[in-house]
Structure 1
Amino acid sequence: MSAQYQEKKVGLYQIIPQTFVIGAQTISIIVLSALFVGSVLAIQGNYILGMFAATDQLGQFVALSVLRELGPVITGLLFIGRSGSTITSEVGIMKLTDQMNALKSMKIDISKYILYPRFISSIISLPLLTMLFNAFAIVGAFAVAHYSLHLDTGLFLISINRYVSFKNDVITGLLKTLFFGVITATLALYYGINTTKSASGVAEASTKTVVYSSIAILLCDYILTSMLMRLW
């Protein structure tokens, strides 16, 4: 078996555990946040729409807000705080403890062993987490509409079915998360690789990842929304 094939095999096998660390361990944060966001949207939406006697459109209001903007952006920000900082810390500690030099001495390509799996796992995880966030946010809004606001949940569901487009709303929202995943993974790995060899350096690199990734995805969201609005 060639060394090139072994490295490729190692890289692929690393993607699975990295997806668990980066994605699966973030699920609880995503679900809890989504339920609260959906609940608040239902309360605020009911108040705003009530001024126009249009509370029957609450489902549409919540779904479009979540699918187009809040779902991708909030999930992206939570992902940065939980997983982006973790990636930077892990890579930074590997550099701090000379694990990277040890891998290089064994002729192992650190790009395939360390960087590539984390990059791919981020791109895989973020859209999946966003779908989960979207679902639970709408469930949270539905529960508040039914149990707290005592609205007709049939109309809630009908307005979603009537006005939400799978292509224009669901797919375009998930498309944003692919860009967010690339941005987060790139910055997290960059700051991890370029951290100074000290504990404070790793902490500073993690902070930079969170700050600059957050700014970057908000800017990216503005650009993508401006472009996608022409297609909606």
Structure 2
Amino acid sequence: MKNIPQAFKLTIVSIFCVSIYACDNKIEEVTGTTKQHDDAGIQTIKNMQSAYQGEKTATAKYLAFSKKAEAEGYHNIALLYNAVSGAENIHAGNHQLVIEDAGAKVSFVKPKYTVKTTKENLTNDIKGEAFEATTRYPDFLKTAEMADNQIALLSLSYAMKTEQKHKFFFEQILGDINSNTLKSLPSKYYVCPACGNTYTKAPKHCDFSFTDRDKFIVFE
């Protein structure tokens, strides 16, 4: 696994529970025929390409949404969008490493998205993050597990868990807009450089990757 940055590489040693299924401190044995295993391996890299494109698009989209929020006077919402954009870019980087570790190259990405009002953007973002966290990434994880691709499992798991948190943040902010309580929004966010996990208060170690908080990226 050469060329994998230290922040991501170090977390591979804690790979014992990155599967979406419960495990007893060991990687589950892959079942099925050799052909099924090989087919799953090929499909996993295709899935990683799709996930990479999605995360690169999200990176650009959330930056654009940040500018829109700032233009509408929502500074703290713009701040969250900046942090989430940074997290999505970390996911894209992790996915890219998995692809390159398999001997492939990432596809060119030309982000396509539509910027609406901040309230409309948040509404659509909640749906998008929910799809990522409950459908897309779980499906990709199942295939990666069949392929026994452990670094793919790690990268996909990090992204899936983080998207769940992003959905929560967006839901919370949309609720604040609707109730006119935006002054209660956080003025600082922390992003783990290894997994993209996003916080309003930094724990001693990242909940997902166990990265020390002094390595977190701060958005304020």
Asked if these proteins are the same fold (TM beyond 0.5), I'd say no
Please state which structure has a larger fraction of its residues in helix: 1
Bigger-Rg structure (1/2): 1
> Higher relative CO (CA 8 A, sep ≥ 6), structure 1 or 2?
1
Using structure 1 for the length normalisation, give the TM-score.
0.28
